[in-house]
Structure 1
Amino acid sequence: MGSVKTKRMPRAVREQQMLDAAVQIFGRRGYMAASMDDIAELAGVSKPLVYLYLNSKDELFSACVRREARALIAAVRAGIDPALPPDRQLWDGLLAFFTHTADHPDGWSVLHVQARTHGDAFAAEVTAMRAEAVVFVTRLIAEAAPGAHAGRDVAGLAEALVGAAESLAAWANTTPGVTARQAAATLMNFAWAGLGGLLEGRLWSPPRA
């Protein structure tokens, strides 16, 4: 009897296995400490095959950053119904964001820590993702606060909210017992309560020098 041939795994599936392994290694050990040997072993393939599919450690890391950024953006988009009021859209977006970062802590580490500190090319991917988030939040705030006293601060508020979400996700992922819903509620209360005061004209003025 002839030997039974094992069905070859499609290239796309094999690449995703490699990226899954690479995200785990990069996310937990950091870019510098990660080795192609460890990534190949975790993916269950040979190191030459990793190099065949993704030519270098830099290219592999860049592919990880792109994939994780796309996945995070897609998760947030999928969680939002544009027909809902701005406050509900913001809540749903925050909940989707914190749920995804909690479910994919290695991917968030790659985006929030590793990509920012290992070269302009990697950081640019994260910057593009962040810019998209800022545009979305800016629109929501502008729709919720069309008054004159909010208009001048909309861009700054959006930047502050996105930055707060990033920091809070990093904290939530390293603090036992903090759920995605709790993190989202914390930021929503902080942000929307403050925006409520802005809408009502209760503005804080710095003391005169």
Structure 2
Amino acid sequence: MAGGTKRLPRAVREQQMLDAAVNVFARNGFHETSMDSIAAEAQISKPMLYLYYGSKEELFAACIHREGVRFVEAMAPAGDPNLSPRDQLRTALFSFLNFVDKNRDSWLVLYRQAIGQQAFAGQVRSSRERLIQLVEKLLESSTKNPDPGTDFSIMSVALIGAGEAVADRIAGGDVAVEAAADLLESLAWRGLRGPRPS
């Protein structure tokens, strides 16, 4: 049996397994990851891993669920009713990008690995839709006198798409969080101002 065999509470052991699984899935991808490699990373036996999670698919689903909950929790400060809508949007952008920066493996598993797996893509799309709706409401409530026909929904989709692309750069260590948040915030308000009159 691998090292680390002392008795741990079940909840602690589960988190240890999920931590290891997220690291290995992020490093190797879903298809190239084996339960053996996750058990080795967690320093437990493969039978123990199967006792907790009956298959690689079940373990991957548990990773997506946990990382998704952590992501939503990281976004919670944006819901502070004491902030103006514009500050809420700024906080949402910063919270999103900061989560990616501090949890790069989570980002890879949640948004890059899971979306490519048919069985799990729906979970990712669902959480993405919730994020799009949140940003849409913040854009709409913080824009004074919008042009008639302003489509806040498509603007939200565009902003989230840009945010995901920037998040990939953050996960790669290429962009600082503050600079990325400034850029996305600027893009949002510049787009809402519309073209300058000629």
Render the CA deviation track for 1:33-59: whole Å, top value 9, x for unaligned.
111111111111111111110110000
Whole-Å separation in 2 of the counterparts to 1:186 and 1:148 = 21
> Which runs of structure 1 show a deviation greater than 3 angstroms over 4 or more consecutive aligned residues?
none
Render the CA deviation track for 1:165-208: whole Å, top value 9, x for unaligned.
111100222144x221121111111212222x13xxx479xxxx
Question: How many residues matched?
Answer: 193
Cα pair distance change 1:97/1:125, threshold 3 Å: same
| Corresponding residue for residue 37 of structure 2 | 38
Cα pair distance change 1:141/1:79, threshold 3 Å: closer
| Corresponding residue for residue 141 of structure 1 | 139
AA matched with 1:188: E
Render the CA deviation track for 1:5-64: whole Å, top value 9, x for unaligned.
x97311111011000000000011100111111111111111111111011000000111
For structure 2, the residue ranges without an aligned partner over 5 or more in a row are: none
| Corresponding residue for residue 54 of structure 1 | 53
* Partner secondary structure for residue 115 of structure 2: coil
User: If the length of structure 2 is used for normalisation, what is the TM-score?
Assistant: 0.90
**Mapped pair 1:191 → 2:188:** yes
**Mapped pair 1:179 → 2:181:** no
For structure 1, the residue ranges without an aligned partner over 5 or more in a row are: 1-5, 205-209
AA matched with 1:122: F
AA matched with 1:169: A
Contact 2:24 2:37 (C-alpha < 8 Å) held by counterparts: yes
| Corresponding residue for residue 125 of structure 2 | 127
Larger radius of gyration: 1
Cα pair distance change 1:137/1:60, threshold 3 Å: same
AA matched with 1:30: G
**Mapped pair 1:81 → 2:83:** no
Whole-Å separation in 2 of the counterparts to 1:80 and 1:113 = 26
Render the CA deviation track for 1:137-184: whole Å, top value 9, x for unaligned.
1111111236462554111011111111111100222144x2211211
Whole-Å separation in 2 of the counterparts to 1:148 and 1:186 = 21
